[in-house]
Structure 1
């Protein structure tokens, strides 16, 4: 036991009543259990508590209390611990493995279970997924203390009838970023002026994780270690109830479910979930908040349509996910239209809802178990009613992208089986049928038109997986992991040259690694057929070629470097002994051109959309292994851009001065590549950097304005935005930006109203939305017909000797669009070779 803990225990010789503002009603408390105030040295709400101190406190509770045990479920990108404090009565804790097994039986569709009134309900109290929404982690400390120290009969009843799983901080990296900011600028006396630095974080703020991802959108996509750890934990425990505590704008009050009506016309989650259970629990919250005089609202603004929230993913796993939104003090104390809002006040509402969740869950645990059992049984019933018996998919050319997709299925416990011809099949008749629907089904009819987030999430399209429903099912061996899914033939030694498939998702990473080792690598700008090991093989656009004799390294060193890269990235590589090909160009052709090393920078900081910047950073860091220089806007005037040959500008509200704009334009004209995404593409067109145009609204001055009720304005105007749809494009696969694709039909994700007009240059429009572009998600008829159908998704425009690659859509959305990452990576690695043909 640490000296710190011994000191705290010696100090705790009496019950601490200093923070009865929170838990007066739950006395008496055990004197041997230190309160958060005693352990931390300050009252909860006086300062923001660092993540390491939160974990230390919970670890101490697990040592001194026989009601608690601490488990680790992962680490963040920055190495911070992800922990879960398991709390119940001492008797339940002693018998937890047996209780857990009885609980999990309710998730098995074939189990015939009689009511088990002695079985505790499993409740996951989860806090602080957005780092700068800090009140809930402080409430987690108070909740953990109450449950481990209180001997109040109400609390003892909850302990006897529930297993409580406290996740104090889902996003530790973001929380600590915000914690340091709030404490650094905390005044004494406190400053309530909303303009004070304490209430206004610097970019990117603490909302996101290390790579600036919103972890509350990552449950479905499972890109980050925080989410992957939580998903692995979730499918081990399957809690009956899961809380998701947030904060919102300071000028608001408090939100709890029920949410807005479900947006899907025929939602895959049972109506009983979002109507009956939400309303049942909502009555408990209203009474609890009424008792402490807090204002609140329900059924507005927030919806649970997207299945990747912490409050919606549990709904697809037989549980009840519950969203809470507290008006934020954005610091310690701030002036609002209602008066002053304090950090302790925000914490008390979250704490009150935490304890109330236990009350509602315990008093309705039989109902929750019956619901959980019916949920999984109905999954099988629904699947058997459907004519679709499974989904078949595969990819003959890109095994690593296919592997990544299968990994996504497996982390959600979706059953996957081998089929014939190298394909795979997912049966619909399985406990995770609703997740199968989430991954493969697409929709075009909705009961609502304004969404808090995306209205499209068919994950198979994220990966550009060509799949088809099947009415009969033939399955081979079940896939249990992805370690051995990609097996490439080991590269053979050559004294002449090596060829590397550009079709594979990992090929850009191979290129980067070989270039970083000093090898000169060329790319083919036309297909050809060569002899490999005595057999003819056709190579696609973009195939990499590594000649042996022209390198500064020996043949042995070259062979070793290629072998290392292949072992790491599992990309097909081939040895050839002649430059004379059977068909198409030869290896010495001018259409096989050496590539310069990519030296890439990206503008970040005020005005730049951090999500998109983080997605670029994450892609290059974690999948390509290539450094990217992140240039803060505040440092722009001190930067020597000639150090780079590629610059990325993601979406944002740019405010470059005329002089700064000239710097970038002159740099591009020297032969460099500028890549713009979303609103950055729109911005440079409006600033006339390029001679491209936007598709703009065709206003009809003769059409009379139709009078509308004022109360409907927000809904009517909101539906004109494009919250997130999947659209079909027609891709020019002969263009360097289209290299690595075999099929010209490519799904893209659109969540903006950037409408690029196709270029007047007939060779410059790389991807255009097809004549029938809608795949999934809500879009108004006007946006579909007037804007989407005639627009381009990807254009390259000349600027002097350089070029500007303009994406209308985000090819790296949430780190999960494996299907369009290649477009962006092509722009990085092959953009230098794009010269837009012009007529004389």
Structure 2
């Protein structure tokens, strides 16, 4: 291929040297293919490389060599490309669709496929899911160059016996945020002092994506476009081995699997995965790292219990997921107690592990193929031996939330069938049986009490789905797409009023849309029954009322705006001709209260938990289409709160002086609403804005202290933390914060130790943990006995004419808790009408 002029000029002008530190082992290279150093104009490790340049380099490899092809599998929130470079010998790439067809036969239990067949193994090298863990994307550039350009016999064998898929940057938005930081503060000479700005990013840092989500937790939940694109790619290819490269604290060395023992008592992944295959591949990694003198450790930390990591999701798809953790230089070079750690050193360890992964996969092709085939076969066998034939899920009232849940099943290739108008069945007898288990099974007993992350992930509870196991399966029409599912008829014209169903998940979005178009709506704070199209119909508290005569637009303009909103949000809407109702309150009742358009702000910045702040931002941006002003704490002193009627405070360390604290108190007292989440509720209590108290453990001054082994301290302390558990609360359905719910019991997610005392005011405790509240996940006996049974989940505390809504739990956790989002949105849209009676 003709080399672009820019490369000729670059090579002519710069005295570039080959980077033997990385590349010498695999010489010779095809001189017609530019190395990363030639392309970039600097050696790998000298600077952090922007994502666009990474993509451009991989595109250049695909143009320059028949050994590579590139595809775009998606785009990030900030519209950066997500790409996959496919590397193999030209004969394989020209026949890739046939190889794909043969490979997928191993994932279909109905097909016979010989594990000994002469078929290349599929290996997917995934890099940089956390944006400020940058060494792996630099290693991706080197891995791509070696696999494409090297003529070394070992690499020729890799191309002959494998198809390698290279995903260079799973989180481009976060990576570029960190890249800009590290390069901006890079010194010359390099500054290795750990206190230098280069090594200490400001809020929110580069770890997360655009909305500050941790994409390494999103494989199961599939909320973000980066994850959805990757999952759609994954289920086209089902690679046999998948890598997940990370970085950790600078004081560490290097970690590879095996991990610590799986926390589940009876893991749903086959034992062969986390014992045999991990141990086998671990022996390869130890030899490779020994050969270059790198220190490492295994088995001590990290666990693959949660199925939504990049290193655990493949384990539930017949593949082998592999986690790597490299001590980070947090910039270009940094001093540590063990000496200086440099960016090139961190890159080399990741590169060595990349090449070793391909080597181990190629040398154990038959074993990996047999494992993949047996994985899906054993799934069907397990289903047949179980007592559950299917899970039946019913949702009569909120079809948009139901569709969101069905979409989540479908993206994981789970088979779903209709069961009448309001229900679905999910059979267990299907290749994705283990994913069905992941969605519906709950657990209370565990082998380990300390988890690296969540110990509960039954996704059906995230969506507040009412489901039950059934023995017999009655499969109706298969659902393969949510488009057109549960259509909503267009509302007919009315000259009197329209009613909008507040039980629908999208109703707040439709409300904000209509408010933004200048329409005035109210909410019915009591139930009523009226006639719609000549048929008697009941409406629940929260129902939106849009009286036509009170608008500043013509009846036709009002109808057109409602039709546009209904087309966008698919919310059931009804035309009525009279305000006189058969039962309950009438439309002109004092219980029909006009709604204030929310003008929301949220405090962010150093000390604030970016995950929780990002979840609020994401919810309002992507589902409600409502702006929220993000005020940095550094600017709070000069910021005016008078522009807002809602203020959100998530967990964090807020260092205010007395006058700043008083400003917030006075702002609430004027009639505004402060919404606090988890640790933010503790802040409201500590500053005495809310007349609420925390539950404290009982102390017995006479109790003696038992002597315990020092070596068990971290485990004993760790088991009392609440890493992530699903609990059940009892809701007061008459309270505005609970409007839209049809059942008083609701699953909530708790991943903190914020335990609120129920209010002394009998009307202020909106949600309290139910008797036998545990649904799923590990919770210690101490937490159950001393805290859970005497705590509330959701309270309201008056402050002057305003109020504080205090969440003990996170209603927006990881963008996935559709079931509790409504509590938060009710606080935003209905909060100004909440009065706490004395």
TM-score tier, shorter chain, comes to: over 0.9
**Counterpart of 1:734?**
734
Does 2:236 match 1:248?
no
Pairwise CA distance, 1:344: 0.1
* Conserved? CA contact 2:685–2:693, under 8 Å: yes
Pairwise CA distance, 1:706: 1.3
5 Å-filtered alignment, 1:179-194, equals 179-194=179-194
**Counterpart of 2:823?**
823
**Counterpart of 1:579?**
579
Flag the 1:736–1:84 CA change in 2: closer, same or farther, 3 A: same
Pairwise CA distance, 1:6: 5.6
Rounded Cα–Cα distance in structure 1 between residues aligned with 2:7 and 2:262 = 53
Farther off after superposition, 109-118 or 388-397: 109-118
**Counterpart of 1:564?**
564
**Counterpart of 1:667?**
667
Rounded Cα–Cα distance in structure 1 between residues aligned with 2:29 and 2:702 = 74
TM-score (norm: length of structure 1): 0.99
Does 2:68 match 1:102?
no
Pairwise CA distance, 1:5: 5.9
**Counterpart of 1:416?**
416
5 Å-filtered alignment, 1:329-728, equals 329-728=329-728
SS at match of 2:405: helix
Rounded Cα–Cα distance in structure 1 between residues aligned with 2:584 and 2:631 = 43
Flag the 1:251–1:694 CA change in 2: closer, same or farther, 3 A: same
SS at match of 1:210: coil
* Conserved? CA contact 1:765–1:794, under 8 Å: yes
* Conserved? CA contact 1:9–1:33, under 8 Å: no
Rounded Cα–Cα distance in structure 1 between residues aligned with 2:17 and 2:704 = 68
What stretches of structure 2 of length at least 5 have no aligned partner? none
* Conserved? CA contact 2:255–2:298, under 8 Å: yes
Rounded Cα–Cα distance in structure 1 between residues aligned with 2:10 and 2:771 = 75
**Counterpart of 2:57?**
57
Rounded Cα–Cα distance in structure 1 between residues aligned with 2:105 and 2:481 = 24
SS at match of 1:142: helix
Rounded Cα–Cα distance in structure 2 between residues aligned with 1:296 and 1:543 = 60
Rounded Cα–Cα distance in structure 2 between residues aligned with 1:308 and 1:15 = 46
Rounded Cα–Cα distance in structure 2 between residues aligned with 1:325 and 1:90 = 33
SS at match of 1:552: coil
* Conserved? CA contact 1:5–1:60, under 8 Å: no
Alpha-carbon displacement from aligned partner over 1:198-223 (angstroms, at most 9, x marks no partner): 00001000000000000000000000
Flag the 1:41–1:561 CA change in 2: closer, same or farther, 3 A: same
**Counterpart of 2:140?**
140
Pairwise CA distance, 1:486: 2.5
SS at match of 1:83: strand
SS at match of 1:641: coil
Rounded Cα–Cα distance in structure 1 between residues aligned with 2:697 and 2:126 = 45
Flag the 1:387–1:665 CA change in 2: closer, same or farther, 3 A: same
SS at match of 2:504: coil
**Counterpart of 1:168?**
168
* Conserved? CA contact 1:769–1:792, under 8 Å: yes
**Counterpart of 1:783?**
783
| Two-structure CA RMSD over aligned residues (Å) | 1.4
**Counterpart of 1:39?**
39
Flag the 1:15–1:121 CA change in 2: closer, same or farther, 3 A: farther
Flag the 1:115–1:595 CA change in 2: closer, same or farther, 3 A: closer
5 Å-filtered alignment, 1:80-91, equals 80-91=80-91
Does 2:215 match 1:215?
yes
**Counterpart of 1:283?**
283
Aligned length: 838
Alpha-carbon displacement from aligned partner over 1:319-370 (angstroms, at most 9, x marks no partner): 0000000000000000001100000000000000000001100000100000
Rounded Cα–Cα distance in structure 2 between residues aligned with 1:354 and 1:74 = 24
Rounded Cα–Cα distance in structure 2 between residues aligned with 1:565 and 1:493 = 14
Rounded Cα–Cα distance in structure 2 between residues aligned with 1:656 and 1:582 = 54
SS at match of 2:324: strand
* Conserved? CA contact 2:263–2:448, under 8 Å: yes
* Conserved? CA contact 1:256–1:324, under 8 Å: yes
5 Å-filtered alignment, 1:14-33, equals 18-33=18-33
Pairwise CA distance, 1:654: 1.5
SS at match of 1:181: helix
Rounded Cα–Cα distance in structure 1 between residues aligned with 2:561 and 2:398 = 22
SS at match of 1:311: coil
Pairwise CA distance, 1:453: 0.4
Rounded Cα–Cα distance in structure 2 between residues aligned with 1:683 and 1:115 = 59
Alpha-carbon displacement from aligned partner over 1:363-397 (angstroms, at most 9, x marks no partner): 00100000000000001000000110000012110
Rounded Cα–Cα distance in structure 1 between residues aligned with 2:149 and 2:642 = 63
**Counterpart of 1:804?**
804
Show structure 1 runs of 4+ deviating over 4 A. 1-6, 12-17
Rounded Cα–Cα distance in structure 2 between residues aligned with 1:198 and 1:505 = 44
Pairwise CA distance, 1:519: 0.4
Rounded Cα–Cα distance in structure 2 between residues aligned with 1:16 and 1:233 = 37
Alpha-carbon displacement from aligned partner over 1:68-109 (angstroms, at most 9, x marks no partner): 000000000000000000001122112211111111110001
**Counterpart of 1:266?**
266
Rounded Cα–Cα distance in structure 2 between residues aligned with 1:38 and 1:262 = 45
Alpha-carbon displacement from aligned partner over 1:103-139 (angstroms, at most 9, x marks no partner): 1110001112223441111000000000000000000
Rounded Cα–Cα distance in structure 1 between residues aligned with 2:28 and 2:551 = 78
SS at match of 1:298: coil
Pairwise CA distance, 1:422: 2.4
Pairwise CA distance, 1:12: 9.1
Rounded Cα–Cα distance in structure 2 between residues aligned with 1:522 and 1:166 = 54
* Conserved? CA contact 1:14–1:31, under 8 Å: no
5 Å-filtered alignment, 1:747-758, equals 747-758=747-758
Rounded Cα–Cα distance in structure 2 between residues aligned with 1:312 and 1:3 = 41
* Conserved? CA contact 2:729–2:793, under 8 Å: yes
Rounded Cα–Cα distance in structure 1 between residues aligned with 2:60 and 2:545 = 59
Rounded Cα–Cα distance in structure 2 between residues aligned with 1:119 and 1:562 = 57
Rounded Cα–Cα distance in structure 1 between residues aligned with 2:557 and 2:3 = 56
**Counterpart of 2:296?**
296
Pairwise CA distance, 1:701: 2.2
Flag the 1:465–1:728 CA change in 2: closer, same or farther, 3 A: same
SS at match of 1:828: helix
Rounded Cα–Cα distance in structure 1 between residues aligned with 2:434 and 2:579 = 53
Pairwise CA distance, 1:7: 2.7
Pairwise CA distance, 1:786: 1.1
* Conserved? CA contact 2:10–2:41, under 8 Å: no
* Conserved? CA contact 1:120–1:161, under 8 Å: yes
Does 2:321 match 1:321?
yes
Rounded Cα–Cα distance in structure 1 between residues aligned with 2:629 and 2:673 = 15
